[in-house]
Chain A
Amino acid sequence: MVREKIFHVVNYLMFGIITLICAYPFYYMIINTISANDLSANGFINFLPKGFHLENYKQVIRLRGLSAAAVVSVARTILGTACTVFASAYLGFLFTQEKMWHRKFWYRFFVITMYFNAGLIPMFITMKTLHLTNSFWVYVIPTIIQPFYIILVKTYIESIPKSLQEAAEIDGAGILTVFARIILPAAQPIMATVAIFAAVSQWNSFQDTLIYVTDQRLYSLQYLLYTYINQASSLAAMVRSGGTGAISGAVLASRQTPSSIRMTVSVIVVLPILFIYPIFQRFFVKGIMIGSIKG
């Protein structure tokens, strides 16, 4: 049928365009950071890299604060994710234990916190009271309890046969042994899902630095990127001032411009996501499907 054929062509074309719109900006940034900077600044690099060099990366890595921020971001991602995953698994499991004292009440006590928020200033005052402002722990401790992940894990564990736990208990296993030996191995898929969600949100988090942290040594990569974007011109001058006065063609090609610095830092920040993303992609759909069944 002709109409059917037209529909398919249009459909493929539409999705091709949408995909291109989503992916091209990343490609554009990457090829521009490895191309000659004078060509890039004049907008000649649109499809293929020209004049390949890695000078941008070498210079940007030397920028003050970048390596410290990278350490902060990596540390908070690893620590924060580990804590969140553990707490979600632990609580998710314990809330499946019907014998718990007032289980329903305490479960609601956690879940209901998803739906209200004291607001920015009360949160700030709380963090201040707890001496968490300008502390690395502000990135980790407040994020440990995530009701949505607890729901995800609980729903998943409820689908594991109860007999497994009962058999272990007959053999004399305590509740924590059951958790460590039986539930943790069985719940790995959902924990992977929670881990990836938690890790991405830790890596991407920007607001907590903005609100709670003024100490430059504790800046996260995202926040640093934001400050770089807004003052890239002065940074380019700073990077360049190390160089000589004479300008030859070769120097121009590798000389940092505000936009080359911006893009290079952006690529450095986005690369970890680009790398882990395909590995974990298969977990998303599973997680979302479990999430859509209410806890």
Chain B
Amino acid sequence: MRSLPAGKTPRSTIQSRRLFYCIVPFIILCFLFSYFPLYGWIYAFFDYKPPLKLSQCEFVGWKWFKTLFANRTQIGQMIQVMKNTFAMSLLGIATSILPMGFAVFLNEIQCRWFKNLVQTLTTLPNFISWVLVYSVAFCLFTDSGMVNNFLIGHGMIQAPVKFLDSDTHTYLWMTMWNLWKGLGWGAIMYLAAIAGIDPELYDAARVDGANRLQLMKHITIPCLLPTFFVLLMLSIANFLNNGMDQYYVFQNSFNKAHIQVLDLYVYNVGMTGSSLSLATAVSMLKSLVSVTLLLIVNSVSKKTRGETII
């Protein structure tokens, strides 16, 4: 090997730098759209009025954070929003067992074409947008929709039932649409995990005289539990992040009180309502709580399973 001439950078360093230069444009992109926006949190401490520049606006310190809990109506509203967020997240977590059940039972079906058909058609709703889900809901459940027509046609009810423009069972309806959209898709991960179970386990158990139910209970389900726990942890970390698409499209003046989750509340306050700064303050609090939750869940996972989730 020849020795390096003095004053020149070693070849390996040049190569390592060159590799780095290759990704610089993407680092800039990533910075612009993920890190740079964090600077916007500063708006939570000003009284920002859009046409004005930030420098022309008044610095108000913690005012917006205090406003959130300033008077009884505001506190009441916050409590309602948090209640909705918690209800949707808890219902989501409670129903997260269903995709696993779906996969376990689907695995018991031996007819191949039927299994494929079920899988294809049940994952389909996952690939349509919430707007389309709303459109589906609309044509099935409005006054002149299919369900009302059917019920009236068979004399079961006299006047059309208002399913969408009402505030009855809002949580349940939202959970139901979530399931309709996500059940089949959620099961795919479990089906993949089932495909990875060693068939010898089943053979051995069958030799010992285990029946179908016992195979499910003692082999399939225990093998799926690790996947289930990872997903459970992730959904706990995302407890405050319900997203807003679903709630935005289904929102109307009747169900607003129960459908307004935190993400939607931020939108309603910031983009259509009173204050950009107040909305920023809320979403800042939300982000901080979410990251904390994630870190907690991650360390719990590290302690109990010896593996991190992030």
Interface residues of A (CB under 8 A from B): 4, 7-8, 11-12, 14-15, 18-19, 21-23, 25-26, 28-29, 32, 41-43, 46, 87, 90-91, 94, 97, 99-103, 106, 109-110, 112-113, 115-126, 130, 141-142, 144-145, 175-176, 200, 203-207, 210-211, 222-223, 225-226, 229, 259, 262-263, 265-266, 269-270, 273-274, 277-278, 281, 284-285, 288-289, 292, 294
Among the interface residues A25, A205, A277, which one has the most CB atoms of the partner chain B within 10 A? A25
* A18 with B122, Cβ < 8 A, contacts A126-B37, A130-B32, A259-B144 known: yes
From A106, A118, A284, give the contact of B123 (CB < 8 A): A284
Q: Are B192 and A119 in contact (CB under 8 A)?
A: no
Tell me the complex Cα distance, A206–B248, Å: 11
Q: Are A22 and B125 in contact (CB under 8 A)?
A: yes
Interface of B is mostly: helix
Residue numbers in B under 8 Å from A21 (CB-CB): 180
Residue numbers in B under 8 Å from A125 (CB-CB): 37, 40, 43
Q: Are A118 and B153 in contact (CB under 8 A)?
A: no
Residue numbers in B under 8 Å from A274 (CB-CB): 124
* A229 with B287, Cβ < 8 A, contacts A99-B19, A118-B37 known: no
Closest Cβ of chain B to A224, distance in Å, is 9
Q: Are B184 and A126 in contact (CB under 8 A)?
A: no
Supply 8 further A-B pairs (C-beta < 8 A) apart from A122-B280, A274-B124, A285-B188.
A7-B108, A15-B105, A25-B136, A94-B19, A115-B310, A121-B40, A122-B43, A292-B227
Residue numbers in A under 8 Å from B291 (CB-CB): 115-116
Looking at B9-17, B81-89, B199-207, the stretch in contact with chain A turns out to be B9-17
The total of chain B residues at the interface (CB under 8 A) is 94
Residue numbers in A under 8 Å from B92 (CB-CB): none
Q: List 23 A-B contacts (CB under 8 A).
A: A11-B109, A12-B109, A19-B117, A22-B121, A29-B136, A43-B144, A43-B153, A101-B20, A110-B26, A113-B35, A115-B294, A116-B287, A119-B286, A124-B270, A130-B32, A141-B29, A145-B30, A145-B34, A205-B129, A222-B131, A263-B135, A269-B131, A270-B132
Closest Cβ of chain A to B152, distance in Å, is 8
Tell me the complex Cα distance, A14–B183, Å: 14
Among the interface residues B15, B18, B131, which one has the most CB atoms of the partner chain A within 10 A? B131
Is B65 an interface position by the 8 A CB rule? no
Closest Cβ of chain B to A17, distance in Å, is 11
Closest Cβ of chain B to A288, distance in Å, is 6
Residue numbers in B under 8 Å from A4 (CB-CB): 211-212
Residue numbers in A under 8 Å from B241 (CB-CB): 117
Is B191 an interface position by the 8 A CB rule? yes
Interface residues of B in 108-132 (CB under 8 A from A): 108-109, 111, 114, 117-118, 120-125, 127-132
* A120 with B33, Cβ < 8 A, contacts A206-B130, A285-B192 known: no
Closest Cβ of chain A to B55, distance in Å, is 14
Residue numbers in A under 8 Å from B249 (CB-CB): 206, 226
Is B106 an interface position by the 8 A CB rule? yes
Q: Are A109 and B135 in contact (CB under 8 A)?
A: no
Tell me the complex Cα distance, A110–B287, Å: 18
Is B100 an interface position by the 8 A CB rule? no
Residue numbers in A under 8 Å from B236 (CB-CB): none
Q: Are B192 and A288 in contact (CB under 8 A)?
A: yes
Interface residues of B (CB under 8 A from A): 12, 15-20, 22-23, 26-27, 29-30, 32-41, 43, 102, 105-106, 108-109, 111, 114, 117-118, 120-125, 127-132, 134-136, 138-140, 142, 144-146, 148-150, 153, 180, 183-184, 188-189, 191-193, 211-212, 227, 230, 237, 241, 244-245, 248-249, 263, 266-267, 270-271, 276, 279-280, 283-284, 286-287, 290-291, 294, 309-310
- CB within 8 Å: A-B pair count: 243
Q: Are A99 and B12 in contact (CB under 8 A)?
A: yes
Residue numbers in B under 8 Å from A266 (CB-CB): 132, 135-136, 139
Residue numbers in A under 8 Å from B16 (CB-CB): 99-101
Q: Which residue of A lies closest to B12 (CB)?
A: A99
> Sorted from nearest, which 3 A-B pairs have the closest CB atoms?
A122-B40, A43-B149, A119-B283
From A22, A25, A204, give the contact of B140 (CB < 8 A): A25
* A23 with B40, Cβ < 8 A, contacts A46-B150, A259-B144 known: no
Residue numbers in A under 8 Å from B266 (CB-CB): 119-121
Closest Cβ of chain A to B96, distance in Å, is 16
Tell me the complex Cα distance, A124–B20, Å: 30
Q: Which residue of B lies closest to A228 (CB)?
A: B135
Residue numbers in A under 8 Å from B188 (CB-CB): 284-285, 288
Q: Are A123 and B140 in contact (CB under 8 A)?
A: no
From B15, B189, B211, give the contact of A288 (CB < 8 A): B189
Tell me the complex Cα distance, A112–B124, Å: 30
Q: Which residue of B lies closest to A174 (CB)?
A: B18
Closest Cβ of chain B to A202, distance in Å, is 11
Residue numbers in B under 8 Å from A126 (CB-CB): 32-33, 36-37, 40
